[in-house]
Structure 1
Amino acid sequence: MAKVHYLLSLLLALTIAPLLFAQEPTQPVRLELPFNTQETRTEVIALPDSSLLLYYKNSNVWNTKADFNFTRYNHRLEEVWKSSATVEPDKEYVRHFTEAPFTYIIFSGEKSEEFTFLKLNLKNGSSETTTHTLEDVDAIYEFNVLYGKYFLIGRNRENLRPLLLYLNPAEKEAKILPAVYGAESTFSDMLADPSSGRVDVVMTESNGRVSRLQVKSFNSLGKLISNNFILQQDDKSLLNAEITPGDTTQKILLGTYGSRDLRYTRGFFSSPLASSYSNGRFYNLLQLQNFLKYMKSRREERTRNRESARVNSGKETTFRYRVLLHDLIATPEGYVLAGEIYYPQYRSNNSFWSTPRSSFQNRTHEGFKRTHAVALGFDKQGILIWDNTFPLKDVSTPELYHALEVGYSPDGRVIMAYPDKEKIIYHVMHEDEFEDEENDLEILLYNKNDKVQFTEYPGLINWYGANFVAFGFQRIKPSGAEAKTIFYINKISF
């Protein structure tokens, strides 16, 4: 049985009241489910109407029997409906996309080219599935739906390059959409925009020396309806970008640019989609007020002085920053572009190998570490209004995916947060007001006398407005009772 507790009891309210004045986040409700990591796989999905969808698969050790279940909760984590679906037991969750009133989920199985697509009705939990063999693809990276038709970015099983595909679920075959598939080219963003009846795909085209952006737009039948090239300006190569919704005359690209070394970002840019590159705006990293504030103040000052001197003498900066962009957040004033600054980590194996001209120490790639995260606020014309920074400590991922969740509150605050065992580490930005204090929030239990023995697979997603959802598996020892393993969902309100 699911067990929901409202955590803001009178005693807790009295305890938290002083913190609320300082805008500390609260945890008004917690849900516990009797799941364990050996038998249950879960996925928590935020829905556009402020409700929450929980997918959970219960299976045996050999994965020969499995139940695929869904529960929808309202904003108070009260159950709305519960349902199950018929899916082959070997299938595992890959990605999802919501186009109301349906959420679409992709499953993969033992056959790498075979994918099952489940269409879940959010009104009552009914579902239907189709299975498709995508001969050219062995993995799916991105998934959008427009008027019930699927747009996919996958990996070509032959050359491991990205592919753009269109799939009508009523048909067996998917088709590869026209795009540039060069060795140095990749996809930057894909946005289903039902208001304009199109899917916009942003591609980075590169020959290894310079790069530009291309935006292809398709209708719901997979037909190409427009193609726009965003050219580089002078010595600036456009690296990647996010695209805004709206009609062509209003769309803006917001992203990063580089120069000679295309691995590193030199700054951020904005460019209208329907105009030439000369109308773009470029902001180098030295122009940003807070980008370097992840450093100690003296180091930041030395860095700014050194790099400014290089720029004034006609040289390039020595910045070596890589940026992983988040999806754009629309605001009443314009847009917020967030990104994580990272670098690859390596471990020395204390062995060497050589070429005729040089020797190299053998190193093993260990993942990607973050130094800080940034947020930039733009108006609706793409003019930069403010920037801010969240310094990060000991945050890394084994593969390159988002380590943080980003939300935007109705009163204009940008909230960045990530899970860390039994805590949530968070930072609240008020436009360009920088604060370097790191905040943490302990995940509340039903009973303050209970003890958490360990937490596994902690997760966090932005839910709606200034509300997030923290979840994961916990082993809990209640006072005077035996320990139990549960799956928890806590609402976090900022």
Structure 2
Amino acid sequence: MVPVRYLLTCFFLLLFFPLLAQKPEQPVRLELPFDLEATEAEVIALPDSSLLVYHSTSDVWHSAVIFHFTKYDSRLEPVWSDTISIAADSEFLRHYTEAPYTHFIFGENDLQQYTLVRLNNNTGQVQHKRYELEQIDAVYDFVVLQGNYFIIGNNKKEKKPLLLHLSPRSGEVQLLPSVYGNQSTFSDLLADTARQRVDAVLSESNGRISRLQVKSFHANGSLLSSQFILQQENRRLLHAEITPGDSSGRMLFGTYGTRDLQYNQGFFTTPVTATVVDEEGRFYSMLDLENFFRYLKPRQEERTRRREAVRQKQGKNPRYRYRLLLHDLIPTPTGYILAAEVYYPQYTSGGGNNWGLDRTISMGGRQQEGYKRTHAVALGFDKQGVLLWDNIFPLKDIVTFKLVHTVEVGRMPDGRVVMAYPKEEKIIYRVMDRNKFVDEETEMELLTYEEDEKIQETISPGIIRWYGSSFAAFGFQRVKPKKGGSRTVFYINKITF
């Protein structure tokens, strides 16, 4: 006779495992008849569970351009639409949402000319103004506080980052005190709306030693405070993300190295109030992480851990060296999630046609061709900076010619973490339940309107975190129905995990 307890266990497993194996759903798809050759498009998630679609359309000579903004609700039904008339050579650079507005920066062929656009997310009302920013020739990032712009740009003379404050009300542009050394750069820029403050995290170095500096600014650009966090003797602080909070509650979550300032050997957390990351802060080497080396084959991982453990006992520096591209911190009810992409530059031999790629000449006659990813990592911390779990997402055949984020990261309402990226007509994803590593490949094909339709080609695919458990996948596709000719569309698929 089979025990009742055994039958109950089997019953619950039968119920539970289909849930674990359940694939994401695609409840709705939107197709827009955009001309691939004449249209640039961006999809932006808004705080009210809606989507904002920006697109520009031009004629053959690019002499007449129309700039469109359309809002769609969570069912991808249109809410409102509007257009603006700005310089035909305007190019979308960045956006930032400070409810109820979304702000855009457009650049022009004249690298000192920029147009700032303010869009009311509720009504669709648009305002825009053109500015000449003499100090910069590129925009890297920006945030908005009380309608004031804080812009990280490239100093056109010294070729290093700088921070500008721009007041649309007065039209005044001021250079804010920020980066000093030639090897210094910005690590994070955060607008803390609850405390009406902008925090800039600077990574400063002279090539041998490094430190982090946190500068806090009022909405009008005035400096509120500066705090320095120095390195320990054998650990060099490299980059960090900052949390919102009052003066005593802010934390830094970042990376450190031991020798070469280009490479990371681990992660650290510390209060902003600390002057040196010592007993107040915490360091976690790659060896301390349960899953960091899981992207390797089991034997490679075992050899790496064994070799590095011996070096650690001997007091030697680690031999492993990683480059990390940090993502913005993701807040949780009990702390934060820090995600990063692990990458390395790819090189080819010098000479020959460069195919128009933006490459950097390096030593030894080699040309940098791009940045290849090995894996993405997610770390969960409590609010005091204690590491709770870590997990990874192995990445295959991902190369970008610019160092930009390729993986979208989102925390689900049930606490799971989803990492995803588009690959042609598929979405490659990984659902993380704290530190439980899943070696199984997980992917899904994007659905069309009809089951018997076939996606012939996908161009410029993208994916963003939307709201709740939903992401939005988008791009251009050529779709062939069962009967009749193919169509080219700009698609948006809602994906719910």
- Same fold by TM-score, threshold 0.5 exceeded? yes
Residue equivalent to 1:8: none
Residue equivalent to 1:427: 430
Q: 2:395 aligns with which of 386, 392, 397?
A: 392
Residue equivalent to 2:285: 284
Aligned-partner residue type, residue 178 of structure 1 = P
Q: 1: CA distance between counterparts of 2:319 and 2:20?
A: 43
For residue 38 of structure 1, give the secondary structure of its aligned residue in structure 2.
helix
Q: 1: CA distance between counterparts of 2:264 and 2:378?
A: 15
- The answer on whether the counterparts of 2:374 and 2:395 sit within 8 Å (CA) in structure 1 is yes
- The answer on whether the counterparts of 2:179 and 2:186 sit within 8 Å (CA) in structure 1 is no
Q: 2:453 aligns with which of 450, 453, 459?
A: 450
Q: 2: CA distance between counterparts of 1:175 and 1:308?
A: 51
Residue equivalent to 1:312: 313
Residue equivalent to 2:417: 414
Residues 311 and 44 of structure 1: CA distance in aligned 2, closer, same or farther (over 3 Å): same
| Deviation by residue 1:232-275 (Cα, 9 ceiling, x = unmatched) | 12311110000001111111000000111111101000000123
Q: 2: CA distance between counterparts of 1:274 and 1:439?
A: 42
Residue equivalent to 1:328: 329
| Deviation by residue 1:120-172 (Cα, 9 ceiling, x = unmatched) | 01111111111110111010001100010000000011121001110001233
- The answer on whether the counterparts of 1:216 and 1:227 sit within 8 Å (CA) in structure 2 is yes
Alpha-carbon offset, residue 174 of structure 1:
1.4
| Deviation by residue 1:335-390 (Cα, 9 ceiling, x = unmatched) | 00000000000012489xxxxxxxx7521211000111100000011111111111
- The answer on whether the counterparts of 1:161 and 1:181 sit within 8 Å (CA) in structure 2 is no
| Deviation by residue 1:394-451 (Cα, 9 ceiling, x = unmatched) | 1111110101000000111110000000000001110000112221110000111112
Runs of 5+ consecutive residues of structure 2 not aligned to the other structure: 1-16, 353-362
| Deviation by residue 1:47-81 (Cα, 9 ceiling, x = unmatched) | 11211100011111221111111111111111111
Residue equivalent to 1:338: 339
1:68-467 to structure 2, matched below 5 A, reads: 68-277=67-276, 278=278, 279-349=280-350, 361-467=364-470
- The answer on whether the counterparts of 1:36 and 1:473 sit within 8 Å (CA) in structure 2 is no
Runs of 5+ consecutive residues of structure 1 not aligned to the other structure: 1-17, 352-359
| Deviation by residue 1:172-230 (Cα, 9 ceiling, x = unmatched) | 34111001331110000000011011000000010101111000000100000011101
- The answer on whether the counterparts of 1:163 and 1:181 sit within 8 Å (CA) in structure 2 is no
- The answer on whether the counterparts of 1:415 and 1:466 sit within 8 Å (CA) in structure 2 is no
Q: Which moved more, 1:54-63 or 1:137-146?
A: 54-63
* TM-score of the superposed pair, with normalisation by structure 2: 0.93
Aligned-partner residue type, residue 176 of structure 1 = L
- The answer on whether the counterparts of 1:132 and 1:173 sit within 8 Å (CA) in structure 2 is no
For residue 26 of structure 2, give the secondary structure of its aligned residue in structure 1.
coil
Aligned-partner residue type, residue 468 of structure 2 = G
- The answer on whether the counterparts of 1:451 and 1:478 sit within 8 Å (CA) in structure 2 is yes
- The answer on whether the counterparts of 1:156 and 1:162 sit within 8 Å (CA) in structure 2 is yes
Q: 1: CA distance between counterparts of 2:380 and 2:417?
A: 10
- The answer on whether the counterparts of 2:161 and 2:179 sit within 8 Å (CA) in structure 1 is no
For residue 200 of structure 2, give the secondary structure of its aligned residue in structure 1.
strand
- The answer on whether the counterparts of 2:33 and 2:490 sit within 8 Å (CA) in structure 1 is yes
For residue 227 of structure 2, give the secondary structure of its aligned residue in structure 1.
strand
- The answer on whether the counterparts of 2:187 and 2:239 sit within 8 Å (CA) in structure 1 is yes
Q: 1: CA distance between counterparts of 2:351 and 2:133?
A: 43
Q: 2: CA distance between counterparts of 1:314 and 1:409?
A: 41
For residue 271 of structure 1, give the secondary structure of its aligned residue in structure 2.
strand
- The answer on whether the counterparts of 2:162 and 2:179 sit within 8 Å (CA) in structure 1 is no
- The answer on whether the counterparts of 1:407 and 1:465 sit within 8 Å (CA) in structure 2 is no
Alpha-carbon offset, residue 19 of structure 1:
6.5
Q: Which moved more, 1:421-430 or 1:464-473?
A: 464-473
For residue 27 of structure 1, give the secondary structure of its aligned residue in structure 2.
strand
Residue equivalent to 1:483: 486
Alpha-carbon offset, residue 20 of structure 1:
5.5
Q: 1: CA distance between counterparts of 2:174 and 2:293?
A: 45
| Deviation by residue 1:286-311 (Cα, 9 ceiling, x = unmatched) | 11111111111111011000011011
Q: 1: CA distance between counterparts of 2:107 and 2:275?
A: 42
For residue 393 of structure 1, give the secondary structure of its aligned residue in structure 2.
coil
Residues 316 and 21 of structure 1: CA distance in aligned 2, closer, same or farther (over 3 Å): closer
Aligned-partner residue type, residue 445 of structure 1 = T
Aligned-partner residue type, residue 370 of structure 1 = R
Residue equivalent to 1:62: 61
Q: 2: CA distance between counterparts of 1:438 and 1:239?
A: 33
Q: Which moved more, 1:276-285 or 1:415-424?
A: 276-285
Aligned-partner residue type, residue 176 of structure 2 = L
Alpha-carbon offset, residue 88 of structure 1:
1.9
For residue 143 of structure 1, give the secondary structure of its aligned residue in structure 2.
strand
Aligned-partner residue type, residue 467 of structure 1 = S
Alpha-carbon offset, residue 119 of structure 1:
0.4
